[in-house]
């Protein structure tokens, strides 16, 4: 390893044609195919280069033009999303979106998927997923203040799914716990559609002073490029291309060398060192080496600045002997950053890193020729125009046609399932035992939720809330998506996801402010999948526009299929909201015996796509619940108004499991289990009233004296509202009645079912085959 | 039926990052031990097994390793089987 | 009163401790770096929670060799109050400043939620402001909190009234469910023989403001403040 | 100076509760493996060390074990030292 800055080659970049490296394979159609490039895309590469690429260059293109980095199947659709608002400081295009939160402070936030790595090695896959998203945040200059995780698995009666679930939860926990970032929420959903293809999406939020915002740009000709943090090993090579391929039977075997191991301790040091570095003024740009490692970080930094870079592979600190430039360029070793420093400040940079027991090495410099040039011991091995590499990836608009199976499922007549009347206590208790409804405490008890002493609302309520130290303000965040609705109707399902996220925020007392999203879909080359993708994006765009919650970033994860079967379309929405006064933070749980229970919004006879149908009848069918965005907006304003006036003792979004589940959660989720006595006048089928999942509803409680003010506020906003019952005593009866049906049990029974279900399901983990 | 002592050593696969090993290496260096090369940390699992023969014990233990005791994605294992005879002496 | 908060590589509750000391008033907290060799005239020392050196090998095992630990040892020997919280407790045990060791939680899972602990003794600089057998609600967040010591040591701890906090039910009873990690004798915190070194797994610094859901940890800081004021007066 | 391969096996002291061992035992039983006796889980730490002699290597490694690699309150250790000679074969 030489410690001198490599000198820019004197050759004209346009004419530098790297000679093939000894030992590199020849470029054949098979090699091109193995790199995930279609013959047409390869032609385009040749067009850009004006010649046949070297093997190293092919590797670089394959990574940058993968779906993961190049967004070739999604870019055109993503351009339909609303991205602007006065409070947006940084929209899509950077490592994370950034919004203004007042008082000179800015919030960076982003969601990212680690689905495929987690399918292969759940613990490391999830851990490195959290690591990656944290780096996306602190690379912007923001200190991470919270993480959330959005997870999907197949049903828990399979040992493999329990193994995946347990491993992912432990991975998410261990990493965030060690770095010391509180987990404030997330979601998990179990359905056979995710068998073999779990989804692991992690979201992070970070806070900075506005002026501390820094971008991933490599500007200033002659400025040194430095590799910072962990050394580069052979792990995760070609992870980017891998993340864009379908999983097949033998992928466990084939993908072994691609497992990346996370080191949260190094991440914590890297976090402190990076923030110190950014504040020091010694650097002009910084970016994490995420997917496609050095390749994507260096070329993107050059692309954004309109500059070029020249890197010497022999100077990259490596963990193993004999790594080829190809391997170094594509390694996805974790906990690394690429930094463009100011010329002459190399020593200062090294000193800051050394304080945190980390390394920093000069590996190249910024050039002005617009080329991404790679040297090995002074010999050029790759020389690619940077802009076409980062932005020239072909993008496709494909044919989208709705699948026949979906049409059929949606057209299914559900009348017969609406028939049951009378005592519905048993199905209710069974529903509480569904892992989709039951308490998720088993998960978040493994997460440090209180480190940083700012968590005001912990996981378990509608949205997490962290206060901003030194001000009255607080930030709320949530992730949401129901894949079943999205499968039945991707446009309505995506709208429902946005609406639910916003509802979760207002129920916590926060004003919905901005969105990040993770598009988890199957293979977009299939028309029915592309249809889902397009429809979902359109639905998301419509809802986000209307709610004035611009999309500031996100991530796309396609090809989530196992043996040709796709997951449900799952456009996960991560939404952040603001509270002007932390004391307005509202929780989902009843607090006082005798309080009035009210419901806002309209209950329709909708059981399509419901958890009730899935658990009781093993059926995913019918129309997804209708989403009335204007009504949703009125509802949001009404609830926020009530929270701001301090009228609410509790507010809870009504979602999976319907009104009965929402009442149960409000009754037992808090410190004490309080009884519930509810009388409904609806003459709709009781199954629909209790378990139907009509959107746009909120269950509230308030002091009896405030009931009329709550009703007035609702009326003022044009939101249907009614008092439906009363909060009972601790350990009391839990009763919901309609003229046609009833649920009668004790709140202690509800509590036992609700909290006992997931531990009981997972108790079996340790006694079963993990692999 | 005889009893066999099984020792399974489970180690991170070569090439994979071993953060524990890295931290220990660093600690040993700062404690002033020179000349320490790479450090790798694994698990050692001791158990006893009843079987008709050593071959059978080995076979069963090997299956346990593949199924439960090691994670084939990230770990390799080594197996040692011996007839039980009180404490082994080693050092 | 100057209080040192030690930052090891991987500490992540150092700022939380600092913030609690600052917010509660009466203290002037200052960070000390693991590589420092001197405490520089402080009146008390906090070893905060976190994952020093990633908790690789064993929790606290590597941190105890940090240069600053020599100074902490001297400070403790001279009677200065030292508080180790969570990872800090683990470091104190590894360093031999407290007896015993903290093993993996019996469940083998990281445990993070509010637990209840009972104040077992007021005869420490850290608990005088509480009432005897007062039940506190305080968060825990740890994977290795299962206190272990041999029977002799446990008998000594019991006999010398050195068990400071025990895990209990909200009503204050020693029920099995109240013990989150399998700790011997439900131990959540102990002091050394001279009663000036406290190690505890729960996080009092996370329970000092109403907005965080509990202020039950504030008594520890109040006790220390009173102790120091007494000592300085 | 020669290079030595050091293998340190750190095991929970006898009598000490070993929840991990217990969990594995339980899992093996429910996977249908009969005749499994007590299971104990420890760590194995591999490192290489430069030293003038095997005796010196052993002495230094022993000190590392006492100082850092094991905790005498809860763990015992066993040490193996051999001259480095490429890969060991075992099984
Ligand atoms: N679903 C999406 N909606 C909006 N923007 C997106 C979406 N997915 C990705 N983006 C934006 O595209 C940009 C490039 O993707 P990025 O996620 O940075 O790749 P990486 O995996 O390296 O982080 C980011 O700014 C990101 O916010
Ligand atoms: Mg990124």
A180-229 pLDDT per residue, tens: 999 999 999 999 999 999 999 999 999 999 999 998 899 999 999 999 99
Query: Among A12-21, A562-571, A683-692, which is the least confidently predicted range?
Result: A12-21
Query: What's phi and psi for D74, nearest 5 deg?
Result: -125, -10
Within 13 Å, how many C-alpha atoms sit on residue D72's CB side? 9
CB of D26 within 8 Å of any CB in chain A?
yes
| Domains of chain B in sequence order | 2-88 (3.30.1280.10)
pLDDT of residue B73: 87
What's the whole-number mean pLDDT along residues A372-400? 94
Residues in chain D: 91
On the question of pLDDT at A768 being above 70, the answer is no
User: Hey, are the CB atoms on D71 and C61 less than 8 Å from each other?
Assistant: yes
Q: Which of C54, C67, C80, C83 is nearest to C200 (CA)?
A: C83
On the question of pLDDT at A237 being above 90, the answer is no
**Going by CA atoms, what residue is nearest to atom 14 of ligand 1?**
A93
On the question of pLDDT at A1 being above 80, the answer is no
pLDDT of residue A3: 42
Q: Which H or E element spans position D22?
A: helix D19-30
Q: Which among C58, C94, C104 has the least Cβ separation from residue D19?
A: C104
Query: What's phi and psi for B27, nearest 5 deg?
Result: -65, -45
CA dist A570 and A191 (Å) reads: 12
| Domains of chain C in sequence order | 2-232 (3.40.50.880)
On the question of pLDDT at A96 being above 90, the answer is yes
On the question of pLDDT at A248 being above 90, the answer is no
On the question of pLDDT at A257 being above 70, the answer is no
Tokens of C183: 């700790």
Tokens of A212: 């501390």
Query: Sorting pLDDT into bands at 50, 70 and 90, what band is B86?
Result: low
Specify the residue for token string 């683990």.
Answer: C90
Measured from the alpha carbon of residue A291, the closest ligand is 1
pLDDT of residue A771: 35
Question: Which residues share a beta bridge with B36?
Answer: D49
DSSP state at residue A261: P
pLDDT tens across A324-338, in order?
Answer: 999 999 999 999 999
CA dist C181 and C105 (Å) reads: 4
B contacts of D91 (beta carbons < 8 Å) = 78-80
pLDDT tens across A584-614, in order?
Answer: 999 999 999 999 999 999 999 999 999 999 9
Question: Which residues share a beta bridge with A252?
Answer: none
**Average pLDDT value over all residues in chain A:** 93
pLDDT of residue A607: 97
Is the distance from CB of C90 to CB of C49 less than 8 angstroms?
no
**Going by CA atoms, what residue is nearest to atom 25 of ligand 1?**
A93
Whole-number Å distance, alpha carbon A353 to ligand 1 midpoint, is 28
DSSP state at residue A448: -
Residue C52: C-alpha distances to residues A343, B4, B7, C13, C61 (Å): 34, 40, 31, 11, 9
Tokens of C142: 């740890």
pLDDT tens across C215-228, in order?
Answer: 999 999 999 999 99
Residue C205 falls in the annotated catalytic set: yes
Pairing outcome for strands A97-102 and A88-90? antiparallel
Query: What's phi and psi for A394, nearest 5 deg?
Result: -60, 140
Q: Which among D24, D37, D49 has the least Cβ separation from residue B48?
A: D37
What's the whole-number mean pLDDT along residues A434-452? 98
Q: How far is B26 from chain C (nearest CA, A)?
A: 10
Q: Which atom of ligand 1 is nearest to the CA of A95?
A: 18
D contacts of B49 (beta carbons < 8 Å) = 33, 35-37
On the question of pLDDT at A240 being above 70, the answer is no
On the question of pLDDT at A7 being above 50, the answer is no
Measured from the alpha carbon of residue A554, the closest ligand is 1
Is the distance from CB of C149 to CB of C99 less than 8 angstroms?
yes
Instruction: Tell me how crowded residue C135 is: count the other CB atoms within 10 A of its CB.
Output: 17
CB contact residues (below 8 A), chain D span 47-86, against chain B: 47-51, 60, 64, 67-69, 78-80
Query: How many residue pairs from chains B and C have C-beta atoms closer than 8 A?
Result: 22
On the question of pLDDT at D55 being above 60, the answer is yes
**Torsion A620-A626-A629-A634 (CA) sign:** negative
Is the distance from CB of A600 to CB of A697 less than 8 angstroms?
yes
On the question of pLDDT at A559 being above 80, the answer is yes
Pairing outcome for strands C82-85 and C44-47? parallel
Is the distance from CB of B17 to CB of A233 less than 8 angstroms?
yes
Query: Sorting pLDDT into bands at 50, 70 and 90, what band is A256?
Result: very low
Q: What is the pTM of this model?
A: 0.94
What's the whole-number mean pLDDT along residues C149-167? 98
Q: How far is B83 from chain D (nearest CA, A)?
A: 14
pLDDT of residue A769: 42
Q: Is A93 a pocket residue for ligand 1 (Cβ < 6 Å)?
A: yes
**Going by CA atoms, what residue is nearest to atom 17 of ligand 1?**
A555
Residue B89: burial class (beta carbons within 10 Å; 0-12, 13-18, 19+): exposed
C contacts of D17 (beta carbons < 8 Å) = 103, 106, 148, 182
DSSP state at residue A582: G
Instruction: Tell me how crowded residue A31 is: count the other CB atoms within 10 A of its CB.
Output: 16
What's the whole-number mean pLDDT along residues A340-366? 97
Measured N-to-C along each axis, helices A159-179 and A122-138 cross at an angle, to the nearest 10 degrees, of: 30
Measured N-to-C along each axis, helices A629-644 and A527-547 cross at an angle, to the nearest 10 degrees, of: 40
Q: Which among A174, A450, A582 has the least Cβ separation from residue C141?
A: A450
- Kindly give the residue spans of alpha helices, DSSP state H, lying in A260-305: 264-280, 293-305
pLDDT tens across A145-180, in order?
Answer: 999 999 999 999 999 999 999 999 999 999 999 999
CB of B12 within 8 Å of any CB in chain D?
no
Query: What's phi and psi for A430, nearest 5 deg?
Result: -65, -40
DSSP state at residue A46: H
**Share of residues in chain C with pLDDT > 70 (%):** 100
pLDDT of residue A490: 98
On the question of pLDDT at D30 being above 90, the answer is no
Which residues have a Cβ under 8 Å from the Cβ of A460 and sit 6 or more positions away?
A439, A440, A441, A444, A588, A669
Residue C227 falls in the annotated catalytic set: no
D contacts of A766 (beta carbons < 8 Å) = 23, 26-27
What's the whole-number mean pLDDT along residues A46-75? 92
Q: Which of C52, C56, C67 to mutate to test the interface with B (most CBs of B within 10 A)?
A: C56
What's the whole-number mean pLDDT along residues A610-628? 97
Q: How far is B68 from chain A (nearest CA, A)?
A: 6
Pairing outcome for strands A143-153 and A199-209? antiparallel
Helix (H, G, I), strand (E, B) or coil at A284: strand
Please write down the HEC assignment for all residues of B42-88: EEEEEEEEEECCHHHHHHHHHHHHHHHHCCCCCEEEEEEEEECCCCC
pLDDT of residue A235: 79
Q: Is A519 a pocket residue for ligand 1 (Cβ < 6 Å)?
A: yes
What's the whole-number mean pLDDT along residues B70-91? 78
Specify the residue for token string 């936030």.
Answer: A109
Residue A434: burial class (beta carbons within 10 Å; 0-12, 13-18, 19+): buried
pLDDT tens across C168-217, in order?
Answer: 999 999 999 999 999 999 999 999 999 999 999 999 999 999 999 999 99
Q: Is A449 a pocket residue for ligand 1 (Cβ < 6 Å)?
A: no
Predicted complex ipTM? 0.92
CA dist A176 and A180 (Å) reads: 6
pLDDT tens across C105-116, in order?
Answer: 999 999 999 999
Q: Is A554 a pocket residue for ligand 1 (Cβ < 6 Å)?
A: yes
Query: What's phi and psi for B64, nearest 5 deg?
Result: -60, -40
CA dist A717 and C138 (Å) reads: 41
B contacts of C56 (beta carbons < 8 Å) = 19-20, 23-24, 41
Whole-number Å distance, alpha carbon A135 to ligand 2 midpoint, is 8
CB contact residues (below 8 A), chain A span 742-771, against chain D: 766-769
On the question of pLDDT at A408 being above 70, the answer is yes
CA dist A352 and C148 (Å) reads: 39
Residue C203 falls in the annotated catalytic set: yes
pLDDT tens across B19-63, in order?
Answer: 999 999 999 999 999 899 999 999 999 999 999 999 999 999 999
Which residues have a Cβ under 8 Å from the Cβ of C198 and sit 6 or more positions away?
C81, C82, C83, C84, C124, C126, C164, C189, C190, C191
């Amino acid at each position: 390893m030489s410690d001198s800055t490599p000198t820019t080659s004197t050759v004209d970049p346009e004419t530098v044609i790297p000679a093939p490296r000894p030992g590199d394979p020849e470029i054949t159609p098979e090699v091109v195919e193995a790199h995930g490039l279609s013959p047409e895309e390869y032609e385009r590469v040749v067009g850009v280069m004006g010649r046949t690429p070297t093997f190293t260059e092919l590797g670089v293109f394959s990574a940058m033009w993968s779906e993961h980095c190049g967004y070739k199947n999604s870019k055109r659709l993503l351009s339909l999303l609303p991205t602007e608002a006065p409070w947006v400081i940084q929209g899509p295009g950077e490592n994370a979106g950034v919004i203004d939160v007042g008082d000179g402070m800015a919030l960076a936030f982003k969601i990212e998927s680690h689905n495929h790595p987690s399918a292969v090695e759940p613990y490391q896959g999830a851990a490195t997923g959290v690591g990656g998203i944290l780096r996306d945040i602190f690379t912007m200059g923001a200190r991470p203040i919270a993480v959330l995780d959005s997870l999907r698995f197949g049903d828990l009666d399979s040992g493999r799914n329990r193994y995946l679930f347990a491993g992912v939860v432990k991975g998410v926990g261990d990493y965030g716990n060690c770095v010391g970032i509180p987990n404030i929420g997330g979601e998990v959903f179990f359905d056979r559609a995710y068998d073999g293809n779990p989804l692991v999406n992690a979201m992070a939020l970070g806070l900075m002073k506005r002026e501390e915002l820094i971008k991933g740009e490599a500007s200033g000709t002659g400025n040194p490029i430095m590799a910072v943090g962990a050394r580069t090993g052979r792990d995760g090579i070609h992870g980017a291309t891998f993340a864009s391929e379908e999983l097949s039977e033998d992928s466990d075997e084939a993908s072994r060398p691609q497992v990346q191991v996370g080191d949260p301790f190094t991440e914590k040091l890297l976090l402190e060192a990076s923030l110190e570095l950014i504040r020091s003024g010694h650097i002009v740009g910084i970016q994490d080496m995420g997917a496609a490692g050095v390749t994507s970080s260096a070329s993107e930094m050059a692309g954004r600045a309109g500059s070029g870079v020249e890197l010497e592979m022999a100077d990259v600190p490596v963990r193993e002997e004999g790594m080829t430039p190809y391997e170094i360029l594509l390694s996805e070793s974790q906990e690394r950053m690429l930094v463009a420093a100011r010329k002459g400040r190399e020593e200062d940079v090294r000193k800051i890193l050394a304080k945190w027991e980390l390394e920093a090495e000069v590996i190249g410099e910024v050039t002005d020729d617009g080329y991404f040039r790679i040297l090995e011991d002074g010999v050029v091995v790759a020389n690619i125009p940077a802009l076409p590499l980062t932005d020239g990836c072909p993008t496709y608009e494909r044919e989208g046609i709705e699948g026949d199976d979906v049409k059929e499922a949606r057209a299914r007549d559900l009348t017969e399932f609406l028939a049951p009347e009378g005592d519905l206590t048993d199905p209710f208790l069974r529903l509480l035992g569904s892992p989709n409804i039951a308490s998720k405490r088993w998960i978040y008890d493994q997460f440090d939720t209180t480190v940083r002493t700012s968590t005001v609302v912990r996981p378990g309520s509608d949205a997490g809330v962290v206060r901003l130290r030194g001000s009255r303000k607080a930030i709320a965040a949530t992730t949401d998506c129901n894949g079943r609705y999205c499968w039945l109707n991707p446009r309505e399902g995506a709208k429902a996801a946005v609406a639910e996220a916003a509802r979760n925020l207002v129920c916590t007392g926060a004003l919905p402010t901005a969105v990040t999203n993770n598009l988890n879909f199957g293979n977009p080359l299939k028309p029915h999948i592309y249809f889902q993708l397009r429809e979902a994006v359109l639905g998301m765009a419509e809802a986000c526009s209307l709610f004035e919650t611009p999309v500031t970033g996100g991530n796309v994860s396609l090809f989530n299929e196992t043996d040709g079967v796709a997951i449900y379309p799952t456009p996960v929405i991560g939404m952040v909201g603001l509270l002007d006064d932390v004391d307005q933070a509202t929780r989902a749980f009843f607090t006082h015996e005798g309080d009035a229970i009210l419901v806002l919004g309209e209950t329709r006879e909708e059981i399509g796509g419901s958890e009730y149908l899935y658990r009781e009848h093993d059926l995913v069918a019918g129309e997804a619940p209708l989403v009335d965005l204007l009504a949703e907006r009125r509802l949001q304003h009404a609830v926020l108004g009530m929270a701001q006036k301090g009228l609410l003792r509790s507010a809870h979004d009504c979602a999976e499991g319907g009104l009965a589940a929402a009442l149960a959660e409000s009754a037992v989720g808090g410190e004490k289990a309080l009884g519930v006595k509810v009388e409904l006048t609806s003459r709709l089928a009781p199954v629909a009233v209790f378990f139907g999942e009509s959107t746009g509803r909120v269950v509230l409680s308030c002091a009896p004296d405030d009931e009329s003010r709550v009703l007035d506020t609702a009326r003022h906003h044009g939101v249907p509202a009614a008092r439906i019952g009363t909060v009972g005593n601790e350990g009391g009866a839990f009763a919901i009645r309609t003229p046609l049906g009833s649920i009668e049990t004790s709140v202690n029974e509800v509590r036992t079912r609700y909290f006992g279900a997931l531990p009981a399901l997972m108790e079996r983990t340790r006694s079963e085959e993990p692999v | 039926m005889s009893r066999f002592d099984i020792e399974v050593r489970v180690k991170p696969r070569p090439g994979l990052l071993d953060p524990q090993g890295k931290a220990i290496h660093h600690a040993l260096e700062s404690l002033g031990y020179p000349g320490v090369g790479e450090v790798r940390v694994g698990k050692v699992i001791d158990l006893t097994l009843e079987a008709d023969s050593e071959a059978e014990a080995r076979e069963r233990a090997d299956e346990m390793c593949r199924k439960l005791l090691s994670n084939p994605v990230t770990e390799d294992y080594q197996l040692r089987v011996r007839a039980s005879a009180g404490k082994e002496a080693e050092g | 009163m100057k209080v040192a908060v030690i930052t090891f590589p991987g500490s992540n509750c150092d700022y939380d401790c600092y913030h609690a000391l600052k917010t509660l008033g009466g203290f002037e907290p200052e960070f000390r770096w693991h590589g420092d060799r001197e405490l520089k005239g402080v009146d008390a020392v906090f070893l905060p929670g976190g994952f020093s050196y990633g908790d690789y090998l064993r929790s606290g095992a590597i941190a105890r060799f940090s240069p600053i630990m020599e100074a902490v040892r001297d400070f403790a020997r001279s009677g200065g109050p030292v508080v180790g919280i969570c990872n800090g407790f683990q470091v104190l045990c590894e360093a031999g400043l407290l007896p015993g060791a903290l093993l993996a939680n019996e469940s083998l899972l990281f445990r993070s939620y509010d637990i209840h602990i009972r104040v077992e003794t007021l005869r420490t600089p850290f608990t005088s402001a509480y009432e005897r057998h007062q039940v506190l609600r305080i968060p825990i967040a740890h994977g290795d909190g299962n206190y272990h010591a041999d029977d002799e040591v446990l008998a000594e701890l019991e006999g010398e009234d050195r068990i400071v906090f025990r895990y209990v039910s909200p009503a204050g009873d020693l029920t099995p469910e109240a013990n989150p990690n399998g700790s011997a004798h439900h131990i959540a915190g102990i002091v050394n023989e001279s009663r000036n070194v406290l190690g505890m797994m729960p996080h009092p610094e996370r329970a000092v403001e109403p907005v965080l859901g509990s202020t039950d940890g504030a008594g520890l800081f109040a006790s220390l403040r009173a102790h120091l004021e007494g000592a300085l007066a």
